[in-house]
Structure 1
Amino acid sequence: TVLDPSKAIYVPRGVGNSFQALEDGTAYTYLVNAHWSLEQKKTYTFVNLADPELNIQWPIPLEESERSEADLKHPMLRDAKPMAPRRTMVTGCNGQLGHAIRDYVEEHGLEGFEFNDIDTFDFSDPAQYGRFDWSLYGTIINAGAYTAVDKAETPEGRVLAWKANAQGPALLARVCAEHNITLVHVSSDYVFDGTAELHDEEEAFAPLGVYGQSKAAGDIAVANCPRHYILRSSWVIGEGHNFVKTMMMLSNRVADPGDGLNEVTVVDDQYGRLTFTSDMADAIFHLLDSGAGYGTYDLTGSGRVESWAGIAKAVFDLTNGNGDRVRPISTEEYFRNAKAPVSPRPTYSALDLAKIEATGLDVPDWEKSLKAYVAKELTK
């Protein structure tokens, strides 16, 4: 029966036992008995539920409705358990950046994280990927890398560098592409030759040594993953052995009258900014949480560009006030008597931060971060 043909809603057959819509404040239902014959179903019946003369109870009580076997066995919405969010895997968790990521996760009470290093998941080994159900993961943060720049120039080190920095990221990129996983990967200023005083994300690769070449290859592989973030860093400082801790130790030796060390030489013809791993971890989660566009982002500390010798003087002054005991020296002179292979270094390593700052990230000044870092180390 059509009580108001001008407002009838025509729906295709096969929509189920009932169809309800709301138009101009009037509710309609298309009533079809599941056991009607095909000929009966060809007849559309429209009922104006707003008509007070019909006296139809709506909605139909659940116990009086017609439900399929699947509906009867399905839990009520209040009893249904929501799907758990997809997990996040962190590789290379025992390195400087890995420690910073773990600290961030713990400080912010984040859940669903899995931390692996080479002893539990060697991401450069194709045979190990079958151990995981990748449908459970939504993000992989690759904090692992081979960073022994000079050892990478040896026959043994060259193999290790390419395995960790190129083959591993390529395998991660492939599994992430296959399972719609977001891949976060950390790059290096060593993918450039260092001739430009400031490097942006669009500069072409021109690595000088094996380490830089292997990192560039890894970047190319990761960039082919549809959902990826590449964060390019320089002069990384975090937990474990690093330049700042070495300079603090040398400052203490110079300050000790009985040690016999009066000064240290540090190269003054390489220029850049420090990248603190805590700042890198903040940037990673900022990109993931803000929904920033996928791609490559430069991330170091902000502020002025300085030489290694200038940074060493600052560390000496913050540690013992003896920055005058740092003697600048050229890179050529520093490595003149080296017995082992030495990788060429970029002269300029400063990275352009405009792109990541445009996402709303407030990048800390590396000099302020350095002061806080040294102060914390002095209390240990």
Structure 2
Amino acid sequence: MSDRPILVTGGTGQLASALAAAGSGIRRVGRPDFDFDRPETIEAAFRAANPRLVVNAAAYTAVDAAETDPDAAYRANRDGPAILARLCAEADIPLIHVSTDYVFDGDKPEPYVETDPVGPQGVYGASKLAGEEAVMASGARVIILRTAWVYAATGKNFVRTMLAVGKTRDRLTVVGDQHGCPTTAADLADAILAIVALIDRTGWQASYRGIFHAAGTGATTWHGLAVATFEEAARHGAKVPEVAAITTADWPTPAKRPANSRLDCTRLHAVFGVRLPHWRESLTRTIDQIYASAPP
């Protein structure tokens, strides 16, 4: 293994933070030193790091805001990653690029596999799909990991929001007809580092290039995740509100959410030997971490 670092973009974001906590030899970069809105900073940060591998965990993730600011979404989700991929291609090093379940329309009744037709329903999903296409077109050694419903013990995410709101309300309403695979940033970071370790052992293999789904095992709804969150929090003495299920139609948003975000991660395990833990097990660990260090 080279002593050159793994360059991780995304600054203090959930995934970048998890990677820094779990791995060694990692160099994190973020705003203002690395900013997809300022393309000149991308190459400068890359040259300064001289990495052996890059993990792109930076993205424009404000799903609803993207509907009225598409230029910003495309700069961060397509144009910036394209520059990063070109630099990786020139340096002949791998790029692990994180993408999303939002590239699909959500109409399939079964979990999505990598070869299913894409059909993003909003600007965010479309910009992320454009990013996938751009990094693949670069010719770089690219691994694209589509993930979903990411949360962590720190930062702004659905689980922490539920815990915070639950402290002040006796009753909550949460959408119950959107299905997906909750994924902790820690589990995704572990999966990425396992892939990196495999590349270090075997060298780059042609079978590594392409798109893979990487999400928590099992599935639930947002309502199911909320209920499970409060069940786990109750172990720590937290107040448990009533959580009522509502439909997507009851909670309109500027961007359409996919009804089905479930991802089939069989290929990830077949090629890399990696499988993320069951979402409920990971939720238990995350809630314990939250109440041990940073209760909402």
Q: TM-score range by the shorter chain?
A: 0.7 to 0.9
1:140-151 pair list within 5 angstroms: 140-151=54-65
8 Å contact kept, 1:251–1:319: no
Alignment partner of 2:5 out of 77, 87, 92 = 87
- Matching residue's letter, 2:173: T
1:296-311 pair list within 5 angstroms: 296-303=211-218, 305-311=219-225
Segments of structure 1 that go 5 or more residues without pairing to the other structure are: 1-82, 254-260, 336-340
- Matching residue's letter, 1:241: K
1:371 match: 284
2:254 match: 342
2:202 match: none
In 2, Cα distance between the equivalents of 1:86 and 1:233? 27
- Matching residue's letter, 1:97: L
SS in 1 for 2:167: helix
* Pair 1:319–1:133, CA change in 2 (3 A): closer
2:70 match: 158
1:56 match: none
In 2, Cα distance between the equivalents of 1:251 and 1:317? 12
- Matching residue's letter, 1:150: D
Task: State the Cα distance separating 1:135 from its structure 2 match.
Answer: 9.3
2:19 match: 101
Task: State the Cα distance separating 1:124 from its structure 2 match.
Answer: 4.7
1:354-365 pair list within 5 angstroms: 354-358=266-270, 359-365=272-278
Cα deviation, 1:198-243, whole Å, max 9, x if unaligned, reads 1111122210000000000001111223311111101010230100
In 2, Cα distance between the equivalents of 1:351 and 1:223? 20
Structure 1 or 2, whichever has the larger Rg, is: 1
1:257-296 pair list within 5 angstroms: 261-291=169-199, 293-296=208-211
1:27-46 pair list within 5 angstroms: none
Cα deviation, 1:232-278, whole Å, max 9, x if unaligned, reads 1010102301000111122222xxxxxxx320100011001101111
Task: State the Cα distance separating 1:181 from its structure 2 match.
Answer: 1.9
Cα deviation, 1:91-117, whole Å, max 9, x if unaligned, reads 112111110011012xxxx23x32110
* Pair 1:84–1:275, CA change in 2 (3 A): closer
8 Å contact kept, 1:271–1:307: yes
1:127-138 pair list within 5 angstroms: 127-131=40-44, 132-133=46-47, 136-138=50-52
8 Å contact kept, 1:135–1:179: no
Q: State the aligned residue count.
A: 278
Task: State the Cα distance separating 1:348 from its structure 2 match.
Answer: 0.2
Alignment partner of 2:92 out of 180, 186, 194 = 180
| Pairing 1:312–2:230 present | no
Moved over 6 A (4+): none
2:140 match: 226
* Pair 1:103–1:289, CA change in 2 (3 A): same
8 Å contact kept, 2:33–2:41: no
Q: What CA RMSD, in Å, does the superposition of the two structures yield over aligned residues?
A: 2.0
- Matching residue's letter, 2:244: R
- Matching residue's letter, 1:270: Q
1:330 match: 247
TM-score between the two structures when normalised by the length of structure 1: 0.69
